[in-house]
């Protein structure tokens, strides 16, 4: 099967800075693929390479089997939704959505019909006559999405499009984006630094650091079986346990990952002391001291919460320990 997007040893250098450094990547048709990583990790540069806003210093990019090397953005069957939406303030919503079709020479009646259908798709029917300044941030995000979808791209690129929204609206839009992607069946490539967004929406996730992909897999694989210390710490804030401590706890003398929600309070467990307790609504996070290390423990809602300074005992199942590569 032809890949929707394929990177072959792709690099993008800016002087001495290796923003992307020899990346190999394949994204399947119809896949919701997330590029996850901190600022400066290379994820956004990869998105810009797919869009054509950047050209690779080395390597090759294919989009549905066709080379993208040297092909300008307007000749690629992709569209991008930006974090700042980039709407034209002087145009009404219908004209904003139809703009790409106008540039391509589509007749007015046809492009207005398509723009109206795109607005219905993102649940904004009847908003065509308004201006961007009259809409909320969530509504403007939907307009930007409609403008990208009206051109019927094979690949939709989303550059942290939910970053400007408040938490509740962001969670709502996560669900709607995933539902929309399933209904349309087109390839979504989503860039984010938010682990929750990537894990909740994507079919597969690539974790970036220092211009490279350090791990790639399903959200469940990335979360439960991090490859190294960076992934364990970045994706879900796992407890990263050093080899000496792991050995003293009866395990192998190797770096290990232990998720906070896998730890429970148990009368016959390992001695620890509560340093802090943070109420999070659906759970309470304890910070505990254990043999010179600090661990996080996630207690479910309704559980008895020990007071700060209390001596407690902790336990977990052997299968909850995941051993990792030594590399940070």
Q: Where residue 137 falls among pLDDT bands split at 50, 70, 90? A: confident
CB of 56 within 8 A of CB of 11?
yes
Same domain, 186 and 264: no
Mean pLDDT within 77-83: 89
- Length reported for the chain: 328
Q: Is residue 73 included in any domain, yes or no?
A: yes
The two tokens of residue 198 are: 């990537």
Please state the three-class secondary structure of 106-120 as a single string: CCHHHHHHHHHHHHH
User: Could you say which of 228, 250, 267 is where a domain stops?
Assistant: 228
Q: Is residue 315 included in any domain, yes or no?
A: yes
Same domain, 107 and 126: yes
| Percentage of residues of the chain with pLDDT beyond 90 | 76
Q: Where residue 141 falls among pLDDT bands split at 50, 70, 90? A: confident
Same domain, 120 and 248: no
Give DSSP secondary structure letters for 281-325. SSEEEEEEEETTEEEEEEEETTS--PPTT-EEEEE--GGG-EE--
Q: Please tell me the total count of domains within the chain.
A: 2
Same domain, 160 and 284: no
Mean pLDDT within 102-109: 91
Pairwise CA distance, residues 303 & 66, whole Å: 56
CATH code of the domain in which 267 resides? 2.40.50.140
Residue 317, φ and ψ in degrees, nearest 5? -80, 145
Mean pLDDT within 175-196: 91
Neighbours of 42 (CB within 10 A): 23
pLDDT of residue 172: 83
- Calculate the average pLDDT of the chain: 92
User: Could you say which of 228, 254, 276 is where a domain stops?
Assistant: 228
Q: Is residue 131 included in any domain, yes or no?
A: yes
CB of 18 within 8 A of CB of 9?
no
Same domain, 89 and 169: yes
pLDDT of residue 171: 84
Residue in 96, 98, 131 with CA at minimum distance from that of residue 113? 98
Same domain, 204 and 78: yes
User: Could you say which of 197, 228, 259 is where a domain stops?
Assistant: 228
Residue in 259, 233, 201 with CA at minimum distance from that of residue 35? 201
The string of pLDDT tens digits covering residues 223-263 is 999 999 999 989 977 999 999 999 999 999 999 999 999 99
Mean pLDDT within 267-290: 94
Same domain, 129 and 251: no
pLDDT of residue 237: 79
Mean pLDDT within 56-67: 96
Q: Is residue 328 included in any domain, yes or no?
A: no
Range of the domain at 318: 232-323
Side by side, the strands of the sheet bearing 322-323 are 239-241, 256-258, 322-323
Same domain, 65 and 80: yes
Identify which has the larger pLDDT, 326 or 70. 70
pLDDT of residue 328: 56
Pairwise CA distance, residues 127 & 6, whole Å: 38
Q: Please give the model's pTM, rounded to 2 decimal places.
A: 0.90
Same domain, 158 and 295: no
pLDDT of residue 52: 96
Q: Is residue 274 included in any domain, yes or no?
A: yes
Same domain, 151 and 194: yes
């Amino acid at each position: 099967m032809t890949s929707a997007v394929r990177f072959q040893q792709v690099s993008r250098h800016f002087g001495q800075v290796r923003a992307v450094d020899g990346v190999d990547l394949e994204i399947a048709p119809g896949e919701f693929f997330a590029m996850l990583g901190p600022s400066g990790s290379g994820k956004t540069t990869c998105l810009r390479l797919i869009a054509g806003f950047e050209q690779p210093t080395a390597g090759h990019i294919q989009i549905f089997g066709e080379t993208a090397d040297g092909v300008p953005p307007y000749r690629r069957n992709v569209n991008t939704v930006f974090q700042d939406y980039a709407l034209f303030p002087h145009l009404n919503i219908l004209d904003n959505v139809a703009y790409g079709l106008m540039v391509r020479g589509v007749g007015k009646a046809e492009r207005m019909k398509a723009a109206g259908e795109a607005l219905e798709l993102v649940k904004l029917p009847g908003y065509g006559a308004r201006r961007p300044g009259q809409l909320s941030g969530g509504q403007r995000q939907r307009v930007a999405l409609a403008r990208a979808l009206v051109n019927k791209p094979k690949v939709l690129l989303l550059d942290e499009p939910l970053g400007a929204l408040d938490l509740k609206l962001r969670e709502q839009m996560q669900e709607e984006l995933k539902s929309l992607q399933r209904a349309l069946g087109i390839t979504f490539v989503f860039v984010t630094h938010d682990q929750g967004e990537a894990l909740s929406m994507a079919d597969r996730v690539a974790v970036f650091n220092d211009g490279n992909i350090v791990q790639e897999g399903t959200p469940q694989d990335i979360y439960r079986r991090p490859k190294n210390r960076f992934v364990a710490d970045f994706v879900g804030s796992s407890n990263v346990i050093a080899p000496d401590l792991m050995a003293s706890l009866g395990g192998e003398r190797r770096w290990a990952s232990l998720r906070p929600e896998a730890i429970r309070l148990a009368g016959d467990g390992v001695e620890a002391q509560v340093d802090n307790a943070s109420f999070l609504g659906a759970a309470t996070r304890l910070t505990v001291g254990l043999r010179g290390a600090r661990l996080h423990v996630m207690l479910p809602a309704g559980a008895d919460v020990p007071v700060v300074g209390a001596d407690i005992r902790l336990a977990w199942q052997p299968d909850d320990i995941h051993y990792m590569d030594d590399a940070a």
